[in-house]
Structure 1
Amino acid sequence: MKLQPVIPFEPVLAAQLPSGGEWIAQIKWDGVRMLSYYDGSHAELINRRGNRRTPQYPELAEPRSYCRAGSFILDGEVIALSGGKPSFHEVMRRDSLKNEAAIRAVRPQVPVLYMVFDILYCNGLWLLDQPLSRRQQYLNEMLLPHPHVQNVPSYANPAELFSAAQSGSLEGIVCKDVNSTYAPGGKDKRWQKRKIISDVTAVAGGVTFRDGIVNALLFGLYDDKGKLHYIGHAGAGRMTAANWRNVTAAAHRLTVPKMPFAALPQRSKDAVWIKPELVFKLHFLEWNSSGTFRQPVIQAQVDLPPQSCRIEQKG
């Protein structure tokens, strides 16, 4: 592929919704950030880490079927639905697969949608320095009707969209300055996310066992000095029996004698310490005053580096 992977621009977490005529709002999809590349002859799907995901989503393998541009880079989110709402757990059933036969088997069980919200490159021209409003014009002109691809709608009133997202129990919204250019690898207040469902990406530094199988994980986040701070434990969630067996095998491989956390966790009885390598996405209700999360629910294991699990996620 001639086009080199781009690290996507990220929104920052906001406590309040921005106001002003320059802001538009979009639904925050609980999926997998994905960029679609087509250089005129070769197509690839690449995730935010720069990893190839083309085989996992064969319904998106023909880019000319959903974009009329001769070459392009699209930015968006691959999602899967459960009960009519985006489910991170469901999309990870597709994203985590490597075997072609397994992908073919799961594809009809877990249909996906590619929710496209930006275009970075079009017909040989980079659009990074164009304002978002102009990039959206390009996107409207170039996207074609497709059963697995949708152009993410924008709304002029963030407060109204946030209220609708709350009513629908969706993850949240993203507010974007229509004048914003696109900064690869950047993250600033020109894009702001306001969450309804709190989530965190955390690394496991310990486990507990029941009948020889891991039944709970002890989670932590890193500070700027590289210290791992305990934020709580979780065993409930969307994990299947097969998931727990895989985690158990990994825990045996990663067992270490020294505790990786900066301070002894409140739940340390019967804990087995592991090298912090296993990263998970969790939903939770709120942060306790003690710095731990309340009512965490594991969504899925994710392919992210442990050092990306930063304490800044606590806002």
Structure 2
Amino acid sequence: MTASVNGPLDRLPDGRRHLLRPAGTAPGSPMLATLSSRRDFDEEWIFERKLDGVRVLATRTEDELRLLSRGGKPLNATYPEIAEALAMQDRHDFTVDGELVALWRGRTDFARLQQRMGLTAPAAVRASRVRVTYYLFDLLRLDGYDTTRLPLRTRKRLLRDAFGFRPPLRFTPHRNHYDDSLLDQACADGWEGLIAKRADAPYVHRRSTDWLKLKCSGGQEFVIGGFTEPAGRRVGFGALLLGYYQDGRLHYAGKVGTGYDTATLRSLRRRLDGLERQRSPFADGEVRERAVHWVRPELVAQVAFTEWTTAGLLRHPRYLGLRDDKTAHEVVREQPAGRS
């Protein structure tokens, strides 16, 4: 293919031009990383900070700019400052991928981001004290061309050249070499971990082993299937009962009773009351708790934990917040790929 292009695409070497294709209208689903315990990497990988936020695709054509969640939910009303910053860019035809975060003392804070997630009323958004930042890390479309077949290094170079990065937009930097100290330092600095990406890989609209999650500690999403009554002076509820799907059935993963403030306990109880049902949604016989309220398995919670026990339950779980960018049936137990 001989492409007649403008701007940053003009600087593509001839050996890359044939990988461009006319772009379609829909951005597609985002590329997803695979959890891995691998720690041996050659020079064909790059390493980015694992950000603790929500995935956002941003797409613009001549007459429209849209922010979309991982599941395709529109987010312009929730994060108007991000939409405005992207609208002010010189480029008028693009799709970018990135992570939207709330920073607190130099670290991403998912609990803080929770205070912005779900707000859509302009007055409520303006009144919020939570400032958000959009870290861009990939380029899927530019000036009418689909760039997903280009190698990752090339896409990141185009991304950096095509956009101006001023708050609230940031370019996601990367390291080119790995050793154990890189992950150790990321964990010591309070990061979630690293994302290892194969530098010559194309962008695919699915989960792939070309992107690997290297985590500092356990943590993933779980489906809320019930809750216990509060004890003593506690309000709202005692603990959430968590699960994940396997072979179409919801399996119990344990309960989480820490990580809530009083406002969260009250507001979440109101939502749970509206989902209450008579029977357990979990696979038969897996839950031994008493005085349980069962709920329809619709809400998804982000939970940190230290490890899985041999009984298949969470050790030292801590609630971080609800996720509205993932559906319950997407939630499975994450299994790390091998170390080789």
TM-score range (shorter-chain normalised) is over 0.9
Match of 1:275 in 2: 296
Q: After the TM superposition, which residues 141-180 of structure 1 pair with which residues of structure 2 at under 5 Å, given as runs? A: 141-159=161-179, 160-180=181-201
- 5+ residue gaps in structure 1? none
Partners of 2:86 and 2:109 lie apart in 1 by 27
Structure showing greater radius of gyration is 2
Asked whether the 8 Å contact 1:287–1:294 carries over to 2, the reply is yes
Deviations 1:80-135 (A, max 9, x none): 112321011111211221222111110xx211111010010011111011111111
1:116 aligns to what SS in structure 2?
Answer: strand
- In the TM superposition, structure 1's runs of 4+ consecutive aligned residues that sit over 6 Å from their partners are none
1:218 corresponds, among 231, 241, 255, to 241
Asked whether the 8 Å contact 1:43–1:63 carries over to 2, the reply is no
2:264 aligns to what SS in structure 1?
Answer: helix
Match of 1:97 in 2: 119
* Bigger relative CO (Cα 8 Å, ≥ 6 apart): 2
Shift of 1:70: 2.6
Partners of 2:311 and 2:33 lie apart in 1 by 27
Match of 1:240 in 2: 261
Q: After the TM superposition, which residues 14-163 of structure 1 pair with which residues of structure 2 at under 5 Å, given as runs? A: 14-64=36-86, 67-106=89-128, 109-159=129-179, 160-163=181-184
Deviations 1:28-61 (A, max 9, x none): 0001101111112311111101001111112112
Tell me, yes or no, if structure 1 residue 291 matches structure 2 residue 312. yes
Partners of 2:173 and 2:79 lie apart in 1 by 23
Shift of 1:266: 5.1
Q: Scaled by the length of structure 1, what TM-score is found?
A: 0.92
Asked whether the 8 Å contact 1:66–1:143 carries over to 2, the reply is no
Match of 1:253 in 2: 274
Matched letter for residue 29 of structure 1 = L
**Distance change >3 Å, CA 85–CA 198, structure 1 → 2:** same
How many pairs are equivalent? 309
Partners of 2:42 and 2:29 lie apart in 1 by 29
Larger deviation: 301-310 or 124-133? Answer: 301-310
Match of 2:204 in 1: 183
Shift of 1:180: 0.4
Deviations 1:189-218 (A, max 9, x none): 111110013211111111111277222111
Q: Scaled by the length of structure 2, what TM-score is found?
A: 0.86
Shift of 1:157: 1.5
- 5+ residue gaps in structure 2? 1-23
Shift of 1:313: 5.0
Partners of 2:46 and 2:103 lie apart in 1 by 25
Asked whether the 8 Å contact 1:18–1:175 carries over to 2, the reply is no
1:110 aligns to what SS in structure 2?
Answer: coil
Tell me, yes or no, if structure 1 residue 198 matches structure 2 residue 198. no
Shift of 1:64: 4.9
Matched letter for residue 241 of structure 2 = L
**Distance change >3 Å, CA 14–CA 64, structure 1 → 2:** closer
Deviations 1:158-196 (A, max 9, x none): 324312202202101001111100111x11211111001
Asked whether the 8 Å contact 2:37–2:336 carries over to 1, the reply is no
Shift of 1:267: 4.2
Larger deviation: 91-100 or 20-29? Answer: 91-100
Partners of 1:311 and 1:118 lie apart in 2 by 27
Partners of 1:81 and 1:241 lie apart in 2 by 23
Match of 2:12 in 1: none
Matched letter for residue 239 of structure 2 = A
- RMSD of aligned alpha carbons: 1.9
Partners of 1:127 and 1:18 lie apart in 2 by 29
1:104 aligns to what SS in structure 2?
Answer: helix
Larger deviation: 111-120 or 138-147? Answer: 138-147
Partners of 1:102 and 1:120 lie apart in 2 by 32
